[in-house]
Amino acid sequence: MTYVTDPIGDLLTRIRNAQAVGQDSCVAPFSRMKFELLETLKKNGWIEDVEKIGEDPKFDIVVTFSKERDNLGLTRVSKPGRRIYEKSSSIRPVLNGFGISLISTSKGIMTDSEAREKKLGGEVLCKIT
């Protein structure tokens, strides 16, 4: 059994690898934070679908990629060895609004534009282009 020290980084790598070989979807171990992150991506149209499968106590997440989008440029910003936090006033748009960053705030995971609008700062999880 392998132990993953950065589950979000592992999820992003699984998505990058699956898209690189042309797969339509990928599977990753379930966690609430990863599921909420993927739901935010789905809500913003970056991925087509995300669903929780399996039986208690072992659940998995199936991520289905959008056919309209090219491969996602996924970059992990905050890492276990170096956490990156931003105030709402210092959160900048990614690629002048063509990309997004996902921020973990006290009100849940949201995009950079939602965090600026609600004046919430937090940990910058990743950037998607």
What mean pLDDT do residues 96-109 have?
95
Asked if residue 1 belongs to a domain, the reply is no
Q: What is the CATH number of the domain that holds 11?
A: 3.30.1370.30
How many domains would you assign to the chain? 2
Residues 56 and 78 in one domain: no
What mean pLDDT do residues 17-26 have?
96
Cβ count near 84 (within 10 Å): 11
In this prediction, what percent of the chain has a pLDDT beyond 90? 91
Q: Is the pLDDT reported for residue 17 higher than 80?
A: yes
Q: What is the CATH number of the domain that holds 114?
A: 3.30.1490.10
Q: Give the model's pLDDT for residue 2.
A: 75
Residues 81 and 119 in one domain: yes
What integer best gives the mean pLDDT of the chain? Answer: 95
What mean pLDDT do residues 69-87 have?
95
Q: For residue 100, give its domain range.
A: 74-128
Q: Which CA distances in Å does 29 have to 26, 36, 102?
A: 11, 13, 20
